[in-house]
Amino acid sequence: MSRERLYLFDTTLRDGQQTAGVDFALEEKLIIARELGAMGMDYIEGGFPGASTTDTAFFAEERDFGKARVTAFGMTKRAGRSASNDPGLQTVLAAKSDAFCFVGKSWDYHVEVALGVTLDENLAAIRDTIKAAVSTGRETMIDCEHFFDGYKANPDYALSCAKAAFEEGARWIVLCDTNGGTLPHEVFAIVSEVKKHIPGERLGIHAHDDAGCAVANSLAAVSAGVRQIQGTLNGLGERCGNANLISLIPTLKLKPEFADKFEIGISDDGLKNLTHISRQLDEMLNRNPNRHAPYVGANAFVTKAGIHASAILKDPRTYEHIPPEAVGNRRRVMVSDQGGRSSLLAELERIGLQVNKDDPRIARLLDTVRERENAGYAYDGAEASFELLARRALGSVPDYFDVDSFRTSVERRHNAMGELVTVCEAVVKVTVKGEARMSVAEGNGPVNALDVALRKDLGIYQPFINDLKLTDFKVRILNGGTEAVTRVTIESADDSGDVWTTVGVSPNIIDASFQALVDSITYKLVKSGAPAP
Ligand SMILES: CC(=O)SCCNC(=O)CCNC(=O)[C@H](O)C(C)(C)COP(=O)(O)OP(=O)(O)OC[C@H]1O[C@@H](n2cnc3c(N)ncnc32)[C@H](O)[C@@H]1OP(=O)(O)O
Ligand SMILES: CC(=O)C(=O)O
């Protein structure tokens, strides 16, 4: 059976740029656009030429974005002047783009309140803008802003805006849920009505996520007949964001309800690259990836409950809706107080430790994990500390170094310039291969000073840890009150791109941090194959 083509339109570089705290540099826009092109995106909305220098510059760049049509965004011309006399519109039309997408108002209330023009003037602006863009010979579309709210308030007017653009030759009439409050059944019903006037293969959907329904609304719109979906990577976008293409793409490619009916431009390799693309964008934006993100989150295929783990080991399909590899993610069975032998054995196998399931050390390790989790450790988020615990239980971690003592101090004092400064220092004494060593360091805080001192001189092990860096540090107070203990979780990374997490627990935050630091270094030595002393 032949499948219908469904087009994907990425607006990460335009609506995604409207996310609070997101401000792409030109080079970042180009990197994202190359990734989108390589995965097979149909349209890449590069920005609003004339609105910012970066957006204008983006369209001037040489590009290599696969088959993607680079689209310039703009707004309909202002009332009271002709299209040729509207400098904003002319700047958009002058951009070196393959296509245009113009936002036009379609809610009567907005036309009157936000634009302050008559309903007829707005209709004329839509017509004249689309006519001017179509006359350039380039593909032209309209984002009918607030279409669903507009349709609920005044269906005739909302439809007349969409039809005006359609009659002037717009290739796509994109229905926008701009305020993001429309629900899936409403989207389905309204798209079904619009389809009586404009064919579905000319309709698109642009959904915002203010009610948490952007992905569901996009799918409802496709089921009702639209053939273009607009969205962004990781759901970036104004306020709560846009429909998340990182969730939509696997759904469209892997769920039979859509995959059997529609063909999308995203290749199988593009699908496999999705986890990487999602995390690369977070990295670029200096954001922590959402571990619970559908399909691509670090926890998306992680099993913690023992009953689930036992079934997953028999057949992963028991608790997985798709194979994680299809989207470039991976399966993990966690070890924690919620798991049993199956979880432990699965994790040992992943680490590469072959142990007979009846080996008495397994029961002892399980008891240790449970005791330590009772004391505040959390191994489900600290896989490197778990690996060390497991390797030690099985006798395979050398004592690379012994920490004989450490000391930290925090002092507020006047510096030589007479300024009041806080100075943190640490002294660490270790023994490496029978040789005592002492390192002293300053840091931004006591933990930073300890970290620097500990890693300053580990003798023969120094070359193995030179590229180790701490990338995250989290503190959690457990139990509360005077009995409180502190759990410190440290994320580390090295030049190979590996990232690992370690944990320390103590009533004293410095002591907990130190445990996690020592685990991080020891893990790095194990993974680097450092020889025993
Ligand atoms: C729903 C969406 O996400 S639409 C995308 C919105 N994106 C952006 O706004 C980001 C880029 N925007 C900008 O850089 C600026 O707003 C510009 C360059 C476009 C315009 O800047 P300015 O001319 O200084 O106008 P300002 O930003 O104060 O206000 C927007 C103007 O556009 C008008 N306008 C808004 N939408 C439309 C439209 N669809 N058609 C015509 N005019 C419109 C408004 O009425 C307002 O004009 P007014 O102040 O004369 O009433
Ligand atoms: C055009 C657009 O971004 C919106 O209506 O939400």
Probe ligand 2: pick from 110, 206, 240, max atoms within 8 Å of CB?
Answer: 206
Asked whether residue 370 falls in the same domain as residue 245, the answer is: no
Asked whether residue 515 falls in the same domain as residue 437, the answer is: yes
Band (481; pLDDT cuts 50, 70, 90): low
Note the pLDDT of residue 264: 98
Asked whether residue 122 falls in the same domain as residue 226, the answer is: yes
* Residue 384: inside a domain: no
Asked whether residue 164 falls in the same domain as residue 26, the answer is: yes
Q: Is 141 in the pocket of ligand 2 (CB under 6 A)?
A: no
The residue nearest atom 4 of ligand 2, judged by CA position, is: 178
Q: How many CA atoms lie within 13 A of 96 on its CB side?
A: 8
**Closest ligand by atom to 206 CA:** 2
As a whole number, mean pLDDT of residues 222-231 equals 98
Q: Is 14 in the pocket of ligand 2 (CB under 6 A)?
A: no
As a whole number, mean pLDDT of residues 199-227 equals 98
Note the pLDDT of residue 480: 56
CA 358 to chain centre: 41
* Residue 395: inside a domain: no
* Residue 289: inside a domain: no
Asked whether residue 279 falls in the same domain as residue 422, the answer is: no
pTM: 0.80
Asked whether residue 49 falls in the same domain as residue 150, the answer is: yes
Q: Is 10 in the pocket of ligand 1 (CB under 6 A)?
A: no
Between CA 32 and CA 456 the distance in angstroms is 38
Q: Is 11 in the pocket of ligand 1 (CB under 6 A)?
A: no
Asked whether residue 30 falls in the same domain as residue 134, the answer is: yes
Q: Is 227 in the pocket of ligand 2 (CB under 6 A)?
A: no
Q: In this predicted model, what pLDDT tens digit does every residue of 285-321 receive, in sequence order?
A: 888 789 899 999 989 998 878 788 888 888 999 999 9
Asked whether residue 224 falls in the same domain as residue 93, the answer is: yes
* Residue 77: inside a domain: yes
* Residue 156: inside a domain: yes
Q: How many CB atoms neighbour CB 260 within 10 A? A: 9
**Looking at 284, 315, 337, which one is the last position of a domain?**
284
Q: 3-state DSSP call for residue 161?
A: helix
Note the pLDDT of residue 185: 98
**Closest ligand by atom to 126 CA:** 1
Rounded to the nearest integer, the mean pLDDT of the chain is 94
Asked whether residue 512 falls in the same domain as residue 366, the answer is: no
Give this complex's ipTM. Answer: 0.94
The domain in which residue 355 lies consists of 302-375
Residue 486 sits at φ, ψ, to 5 deg, of: -110, 130
* Residue 393: inside a domain: no
Residue 26 sits at φ, ψ, to 5 deg, of: -55, -45
Q: In this predicted model, what pLDDT tens digit does every residue of 135-184 receive, in sequence order?
A: 999 999 999 999 999 999 999 999 999 999 999 999 999 999 999 999 99
The residue nearest atom 4 of ligand 1, judged by CA position, is: 103
Between CA 217 and CA 215 the distance in angstroms is 5
* Residue 320: inside a domain: yes
- The CATH code of the domain that includes 216 is 3.20.20.70
Asked whether residue 280 falls in the same domain as residue 316, the answer is: no
Q: Is 114 in the pocket of ligand 1 (CB under 6 A)?
A: yes
Note the pLDDT of residue 82: 97
**Looking at 284, 314, 342, which one is the last position of a domain?**
284
Between CA 419 and CA 416 the distance in angstroms is 7
Q: How many helices and strands (H and E) does the chain possess?
A: 20, 18
* Residue 238: inside a domain: yes
| Count of structural domains within the chain | 3
Q: How far is the CA of 101 from the centre of ligand 2 (A)?
A: 10
pLDDT at 482 over 70: no
**Looking at 235, 252, 284, which one is the last position of a domain?**
284
Asked whether residue 21 falls in the same domain as residue 57, the answer is: yes
- The CATH code of the domain that includes 453 is 3.30.160.270
Asked whether residue 50 falls in the same domain as residue 104, the answer is: yes
